[in-house]
Amino acid sequence: MEEGNITINITATPAISNVKIITIKGTFDAVTSMHVDKKVLPVIEQEKSNVIIDLSNVDYLSSVGIMCLAQYLVFLTEKKRLLKFVKPPQHVFDTLRIIGFATKFEMYDSREEAIDSLKTK
């Protein structure tokens, strides 16, 4: 689904049955966050899956986007489900690191590494 400057795709992984992969591409900011929430919230609220959010194609992440990601983490943690992230481009990751969120989010360099981390859980 493409809305404005953002694309959100949700897929299952054949490697593990209870994992949804959410790929976000583009600008994740105050304008596009409602589109992201519209796609992501039903997955994390209604399904029983663990979630991987692939940020590798996010070219800009505002404070609103960061708060959305933090909200998803809190919700899934409360539901005793796991949330993993595929690391965004370095300039976006640096922003997360500077504000202290890079250590709050469990980040992996690739989708395969994130999937492998769930295989042992």
Is residue 4 over pLDDT 70?
no
Q: Is residue 119 part of a domain?
A: no
Q: How far apart are CA 38 and CA 40, in angstroms?
A: 6
Q: For the domain that residue 92 is a member of, what is the CATH number?
A: 3.30.750.24
Answer for the pair 73, 104: CB distance below 8 angstroms, yes or no.
Answer: yes
Give the residue numbers spanning the domain of 70. Answer: 2-113
Residue 8 confidence (pLDDT): 95
120 inside domain = no
Does pTM surpass 0.85? yes
For residues 32-59, average pLDDT: 92
Between residues 17 and 35, the one the model is more confident about: 35
Residue 12: inside a domain: yes
Mean pLDDT of 83-91: 95
Total structural domains within the chain = 1
pLDDT of amino acid 5 = 87
Is the residue at 10 inside a domain?
yes
pLDDT band at 13, cuts 50/70/90? confident
pLDDT surpasses 70 at 121: no
> Considering only CA atoms, which of 5, 42, 43, 48 is closest in space to residue 24?
5
Round to whole Å and give the CA distance between 68 and 12.
Answer: 21
41 contact partners, CB below 8 Å, separation of at least 6: none
